[in-house]
Amino acid sequence: MALQSPILFPFGEDGFTPNMRYAGSAASSGNIRQTLSMRDYYSYQIQHCSRQGETLLRGGRLFQQFCVDVLSSVQEGELLWLDNHQNDIMADIYSNVRDLVHRGDVDVSAVGKRIILPASFTGSPRYLYQKYQDAMPICRAYGYLDLFITFTCNGNWPELQDALSFYSGLRPEDHPDLVAHVFHIKLRHFLDVLIKRGHFGPALAVTYTVEFQKRGLPHAHILLWLQPSAKLKTPADIDKYVSAEIPDPDEAVTSFMMHGPCGAPNPRAPCMEGQKCNKYFPKSFTQKTRIDSQGYPTYRRRDTGVFCVKSGVVLDNRFVVPHNVDLLVQFQAHINVEVCNQSRAIKYLFKYINKGPDRSRVVIESDLPASSGPDIHPAAPVNEIKAYLDCRYLCAYEACWRLFSFDIHFRQPSVLRLLVHLPDRHHVYFKSSSSTDAVLSRPDVEKTMFTEWMAANCTYPSAKKHLYAEFSREFVWHTTLKKWEPRRKGKCIGCVIQVNACAGDLYYLRLLLNVVRGPRSFEEIRTVRGILYPTFQAACKASGLLGNDREWNACIVEAAHSASSYELRVLFVMIVVFCQVHLNAGGRTAHSRFKIPLSIHQWSTCDIKRGTQLARLLQRTSLIVWDEPPMMHRHCIEALDRSLRDICGSVELRLRNQPFGGITVVFGGDLRQILPVIPGASRTDIICFTLYFGDWLLDLGDGKLSSCATNDDLDGSLIEIPSDLLIPFTGDPVEAIVNELYPDIMNNFANHAYLSQRAIVTPYNIDVDRINEYMLGLIPGTTVDYFSHDRVAGSADGDPDGRPEKVTRNVVYSKVLDCLPSSNHA
């Protein structure tokens, strides 16, 4: 380091060298390792010591660069060790090694080769994915989380300023080591307040991740589960702990919890995307806290007239970030508190806190040498260590945090990953220099966590009542002894590892473990109602897990809980491609025909380039028939109009000023419109994204109609609907609309002409179910259930066992199905 940073080491002091030994009491404390690691040496060097010089600690930005270089060197050393010791972390299936013996081979160097970056390396892709998989079982055990809290370090904390007083003229960013120490202490205290003192009530579980911004201070994302008695179920409960208003006195809130200014006064604010704030500030004034049907809270933001001035801009309650006043005053830092009593954000939050650091990948590689023959070059081996080096971003705060070995992730209670494998198909680890006899002669080489679970079911009568995922709640796994024993204290949540749906019998075994309790052998897992089936797939079919919608539902729910966004997209593509409703002959969807972007905004255009075959086809087009455009987002229609004007106008200039470039476009469907689905939008936003009809709707869209908003209105957008559009009623609204549209239904329920002339349309499936249930109750007769059975076409021909040739992993959220326009299926 002295050569790289001569200003920090003006006398050329020696840096770290291998085999440096501990001095004094550390050397005689009985440590197994008697030599210093690079991490130990530099974590000591960057701390204040009274008997050492302070040139390094007074280096300012050079010290920041030094911290980054040091951690880079530490990680490079760890990665180099992993790269040079791949033989020490090789693994293969036990039966594969056993087969080598049967074939007479004694060298295991030919199996299990791959350059891997293991999950033990903090920050690696496997590490982050494993942390995500470990966090999800907490949600499965305790339900949906209650609070999502972001706790950000404050560079003006008195403790930090007192420590900086030893170094005159330096700021917190010049001493990331002190920032790391103080934030770590504050974070531990903050968790004590949440868990031990029960600030929001008794806590069941907590998990957090520490993140580091490029130019900002570190912060922690905390997920908190509360006991059922302490859950925030009503608006009054939320108002008790969460505020989105400026109080009196307002010093803490105005100092830490005001967003912006952004928007027109500051269009270059980091939160601005286009002309809007990506955090949707300013919010609307709201008289009361409301919880919508999806569970999302809208916090109370009254127009109290209280404001503050920030950067010359007046900010009121619409710019306040939700917070807890008591925590804010106690910790004097930015503490964003969000209520999460809904399900759809759960997986996003878990992925968000485990997304890892910012990345960038730039690879420069030489071309492959030209081949003189027909041989095909073999594919390059996968080198995850190289990929990690290519994409890693590091800042000084994270460098110090990692050098001090502070936790990046934390969770309580602990989560135990439960392994699953087919008979004799478990992994064994070995060195390439090992002989097969040495590998197979190890003590307990055939014992695994999974096989010993079945053995424990034979030993302990109480064990037979548990599923595999529930077993760790009452039993403890001893890794060294390779056995399960009854738990005496503490809590632990079990998590059966993920298995890809393409894994064949292993996937079906994993499926059976969700329903089979206390098996004592693999044969008992395959036994259903006293019959032993030859394969796990056959046992699944006999259990009703395959061959009907239960298979799809189980796959979809599991994928929604754990699969990544990419894996879900691949799975959904397969479902959509092979299970789609057939279009009319020659028909195309608007998105595929006109290349309308899926992510749409007000300036979007279709991905149609001039001079392409599609562009020439549109230039020769005289008529476009578009069915059901009122169901589309208005930006889709505007994008097509904008693109057609450009394409057709390139041939004839006057067409640029004509709607749709002079092409006649026929819109099919009923323009008495069902409002489009805009996730997370308010009533006003939905109206803005809607195609308007009639003078009344035009006035509504232009905001010309007078508002009749009350204190209970969510966003102040209530308007009075003309009485001629309403059906008067005094009792049940469902009964009123049915009597209005289906008079004398009892005498006409079998009249096809009568039924085909009327329909009740509603944007919410929950209302559809209520109306259907009511009308079916009126019609005499016996209710009949019809069950559907879908399969991948042609799978039976492609595989003798009836398995599809390729099935993507897992599959969606049963709650998501409620929003799809389909009839109920059993």
For the chain, give the mean pLDDT: 78
Distance CA 164, CA 177 (A): 11
Query: What pLDDT does 531 receive?
Result: 92
Question: What residues does 323 pair with on adjacent strands?
Answer: 243
| Cβ atoms 94, 66 nearer than 8 A | no
- The span from the CA of 473 to the CA of 418, in Å, is 12
> Among 5, 4, 15, 16, which residue's Cα sits nearest to residue 60?
5
pLDDT of residue 575: 66
175 pLDDT higher than 50: yes
8 A C-beta contact, residue 249 and residue 308: no
Q: Are 689 and 676 in contact, with CB atoms under 8 Å apart?
A: yes
**Is residue 761 very low, low, confident or very high in pLDDT (cuts 50, 70, 90)?**
confident
Which of 5-14, 543-552, 755-764 is the most confident on average? 755-764
Could you tell me how many helices (H) and strands (E) the chain has, helices first?
29, 21
| Residue 615 · residue 608 · CB < 8 Å | yes
Given a cut of 90, whether residue 151 has pLDDT beyond it is yes
- For the stretch 717-741, pLDDT in tens is 577 777 777 888 888 889 889 988 8
Q: At residue 327, does pLDDT exceed 90?
A: yes
Residues 6+ apart with CB under 8 A from 491: 413, 414, 473
Per mean pLDDT, which range of 39-43, 93-97, 195-199 is the poorest? 93-97
Measured distance CA(426)–CA(452) in Å, rounded: 13
The mean pLDDT value for 34-55 works out to 82
What is the spatial distance between Cα 47 and Cα 40, in angstroms, rounded to a whole number?
Answer: 11
pLDDT at 28: 52
Main-chain dihedrals φ then ψ at residue 719, nearest 5 degrees? -130, 165
Give the residue carrying structure tokens 């912060």.
Answer: 219
User: Which range has the worst mean pLDDT, 317-321, 325-329, 784-788, 798-802?
Assistant: 798-802
Band the pLDDT of 818: cuts 50, 70, 90: very low
The angle that helices 61-84 and 176-195 make with each other, rounded to 10 degrees, is 80
Give me the count of residues in the chain.
Answer: 826
Residue 191 sits at the vertex; the CA angle it makes with 188 and 192, to the nearest 5 degrees, is 90
Return the pLDDT at 7: 84
Residue 116: per-residue pLDDT: 61
Quick one: average pLDDT of 670-685? 59
Residue-by-residue DSSP string for 418-462:
EP---TT--EEEE-TT-BHHHHHTSTTTT--HHHHHHHHHHH-GG
Residue with tokens 């905001």: 703
- Please give the average per-residue pLDDT across 669-695, as a whole number: 58
For residues 133-144, give the mean pLDDT. 83
pTM across the whole model: 0.64
Query: Which pairs with CB-CB distance under 8 Å and at least 24 residues apart come from 452-461?
Result: 452/477, 452/482, 452/483, 452/484, 453/418, 453/484, 454/519, 454/520, 454/521, 454/522, 454/524, 455/483, 455/484, 455/520, 456/483, 456/484, 457/518, 457/519, 457/520, 458/520, 460/486
Residue 690, classed as helix, strand or coil, is coil
**pLDDT band with cut points at 50, 70 and 90 for residue 13:** confident
More confident residue, 281 or 128: 281
Render pLDDT for 783-808 as a digit per residue (tens, 0 to 9). 776 655 555 444 333 343 444 343 33
DSSP H or E run through 766:
helix 765-778
Q: What's the rounded mean pLDDT across residues 799-820?
A: 38
Q: What does the pLDDT look like over 456-496, one tens digit per residue? A: 999 998 888 999 999 999 999 998 888 999 998 888 999 89
Residue 105, pLDDT score? 44
Report whether pLDDT(823) > 60: no
Exposure string of 657-668, with b = 16+ CB inside 10 Å and e = fewer, is eeebbbbebeee
